[in-house]
Structure 1
Amino acid sequence: MNSIRNIYCVGRNYALHAKELQNEVPTAPFLFSKPTHALAEAKGQEVILPGDRGSIHFEVELVIRIGRPYEKGIKVDDIVDGMAVGIDFTLRDVQNELKKKSYPWLLAKGFPNSAVLTKFIAFPGVEGCKTTNFALLKNGEQVQVGNIQNMIFDLQTLVDYSALHFGLGEGDIIFTGTPEGVGPVSDGDRLALLWGEQTLGDCTIKLS
């Protein structure tokens, strides 16, 4: 985790998720970022989240790690050296108020432990990713499942867009968007993050 530099996150990259929150489906990638203080590894421990700022929603995502400096024309399979499954935690009530004011989302997205990650595993390539689902279990029940085939903007588009507008280099990671099924977490919830049938990480929520 110490080697991670920039954390880019893609909003509304699955049409059904955009619709479930009554948002318009974007016509270009919609990105925001999180500070590195948001990072927490899902390795069986308690993850402390704020309990006094309204509802907190889970959003499970495929996360890719950049392994070398970006060069124009480089392919995803040549620049990505690892992948993980992550949760983009969102202070939903806070976010809704920020939206009303047309303010940035940072207060709703950037709080400590709001970017939970499993361990990184070898990236199987874009085509390999399409053959496997990622999923989130809450207290043993599957609440979200996704596949990159259903993204509005594919991994190549996300890599190129991030590099063009923000720069992209070794150690940067991209949360690539969440499928439908987001919902609230409660104190004591046990979360498990899956890649196919394999559990890559888990944690217990502690609201404080």
Structure 2
Amino acid sequence: MNIYCIGRNYAKHATELGNAIPEEPILFSKPTHALVETKGQSIGLPWELGEIHHEIEIVLRIDREVKAGDRLSDVVSQMALGVDLTLRDVQSKLKEKGHPWLRAKGFRNSAIITPFWSFGGEEECEKTDFHLIKNGETVQHGNSKDMMFNFQAIMEECVQCFGLGEGDLIFTGTPEGVGPVTSGDHCRLLWGAEEKGQFTVA
């Protein structure tokens, strides 16, 4: 299983961090040890490494080996919500040096996902907003219709650059509103009004 992620896929998120709007998808990956499923549990994070930011995203699961020309509906039947956690202080230092982001993006428990449910297609997803609620307050909300690169384009880019196979996951980008989490924060991930997962930061 591989975990691929798309950076700066929502224009307002790129702008809030002072980044340029990308002309092609920005791709990075996370190790499999970064993955953890929400079960209402406490999830430990490496506070000694600096500020950690939340980034809620739609996650797609690949059903089988993807070949050039495949349509999204042929290879994706499940989706989830995820939180891409970022060591922001570490990332800023890496970016200044022109180094890869892996240390800031790939630490253990940095790819949090809810249980999967049936994927209804791109158009169906655009009918529903997703939300991250922290300590009872909505801190992020988004809709896939605001992505600069849609699911099909993201899939094609990943296939061309890396290949995609059964069980691979794609984190499709985060909307604006990213911010820090601290120990004790309680987070809920909602698809429309339906809670899909929750966890407490430890």
- Give the TM-score taking structure 1 as reference length: 0.96
**Structure 1 residue 12 and structure 2 residue 5: aligned?**
no
Task: Please point out which of 15, 19, 22 is paired with 2:18.
Answer: 22
Partner of 1:182: 178
Q: Distance in 2 between matches of 1:93 and 1:136?
A: 22
Deviation string, structure 1 residues 68-94 (Cα, Å, up to 9, x no partner): 111221111111120000000000000
Partner of 2:41: 45
Partner of 2:163: 167
Structure 1: segments with no counterpart, 5+ residues: none
Q: CA deviation at 1:140?
A: 1.1
Partner of 1:60: 56
Q: Distance in 2 between matches of 1:187 and 1:135?
A: 20
1:1-208 equivalences under 5 Å are: 5-206=1-202
Corresponding residue SS for 1:193: strand
Q: Distance in 1 between matches of 2:189 and 2:120?
A: 18
Q: Distance in 1 between matches of 2:178 and 2:135?
A: 15
Q: Distance in 1 between matches of 2:8 and 2:121?
A: 23
Identity %: 56
Deviation string, structure 1 residues 105-163 (Cα, Å, up to 9, x no partner): 00000000000000000101111111011110001111001111000101010000000
- Structure 1: which amino acid aligns with 2:78? G
Corresponding residue SS for 1:156: helix
Consecutive aligned runs of 4 or more in structure 1 exceeding 2 Å deviation: none
Conserved? CA contact 2:77–2:120, under 8 Å:
no
Q: Distance in 2 between matches of 1:102 and 1:59?
A: 22
Corresponding residue SS for 1:52: helix
- Structure 2: which amino acid aligns with 1:65? R
Q: How large is the RMSD of aligned CA atoms in angstroms?
A: 0.6
Corresponding residue SS for 1:78: helix
Q: Distance in 2 between matches of 1:127 and 1:151?
A: 13
- Give the TM-score taking structure 2 as reference length: 0.99
